[in-house]
Amino acid sequence: MTKTRIEKDSMGEMQVPETAMYGASTARAVDNFPVSDLRFSREFIRALGEIKLAAATSNLALGKLAEAQADLIRQAAAEVIAGDWDDQFVVDIFQTGSGTSTNMNANEVIAHRCAQISSSTYVHPNDHVNMGQSSNDVIPTAIHLASADLLVHTLLPALNYLHQALLVKADETMDAVKIGRTHLMDATPITIGQEISGWARQVELAIKRLETALPRITELAQGGTAVGTGLNTHPEFGSSCAAELSKAYGIEFREADNHFEAQAAQDAAVELSGQLKTVAVSLVKIANDVRLLNAGPRCGLGEITVPSVQPGSSIMPGKVNPVIAESMAQVCAQVIGNDAAITFGGASGLLDLNVMLPMMAHNLLESERLLASASRMFTDKCINGLVANRERCAEQIEWSMSMVTSLAPVIGYDRASQIAKQAVSEGKTVRQICLDESVMDEDELDRLLDPTSMLKPHA
Task: Answer for the pair 282, 203: CB distance below 8 angstroms, yes or no.
Answer: yes
Q: Reply yes or no on whether 313 is catalytic.
A: yes
Task: Answer for the pair 210, 269: CB distance below 8 angstroms, yes or no.
Answer: no
Q: Which of 308, 313, 417, 453 is catalytic?
A: 313
d(CA 438, CA 422): 14
d(CA 48, CA 58): 15
Q: Is residue 136 part of an annotated ligand binding site?
A: yes
**Any idea of the CA torsion for 69, 54, 147, 268, to the nearest 10 degrees?**
120
Q: Is the dihedral of CA 252, 217, 39, 16 positive or negative?
A: positive
- CB atoms near residue 231 (< 10 Å): 10
**Any idea of the CA torsion for 148, 150, 156, 157, to the nearest 10 degrees?**
130
**Phi, psi dihedral angles at 118 (to 5 degrees):** -140, 130
Residue type, position 324, single letter: I
Q: Which of 119, 120, 183, 458 is catalytic?
A: 183
Q: Is residue 314 part of an annotated ligand binding site?
A: yes
Q: Is residue 126 part of an annotated ligand binding site?
A: yes
Q: Is residue 135 part of an annotated ligand binding site?
A: yes
Q: Is residue 130 part of an annotated ligand binding site?
A: no
- In this structure, the strands spanning 254-255 and 219-220 are parallel
Q: Reply yes or no on whether 240 is catalytic.
A: no
Q: Is residue 296 part of an annotated ligand binding site?
A: no
d(CA 16, CA 18): 6
Q: Distances in Å between the alpha carbon of 269 and those of 59, 75, 105, 210, 360?
A: 28, 31, 23, 12, 8
Q: Is residue 127 part of an annotated ligand binding site?
A: yes
Report which of 58, 40, 83, 54 is spatially closest to residue 249, judged by C-alpha positions: 54
Determine the length of the chain. Answer: 459
**Any idea of the CA torsion for 394, 398, 402, 403, to the nearest 10 degrees?**
100
Report which of 82, 81, 39, 90 is spatially closest to residue 56, judged by C-alpha positions: 81
Q: Is residue 99 part of an annotated ligand binding site?
A: yes
d(CA 93, CA 102): 9
Q: Is residue 125 part of an annotated ligand binding site?
A: yes
Catalytic residues: 183, 313
Annotated binding site for substrate: 98-100, 124-127, 134-136, 182, 314, 319-321
Annotated binding site: 98-100, 124-127, 134-136, 182, 314, 319-321
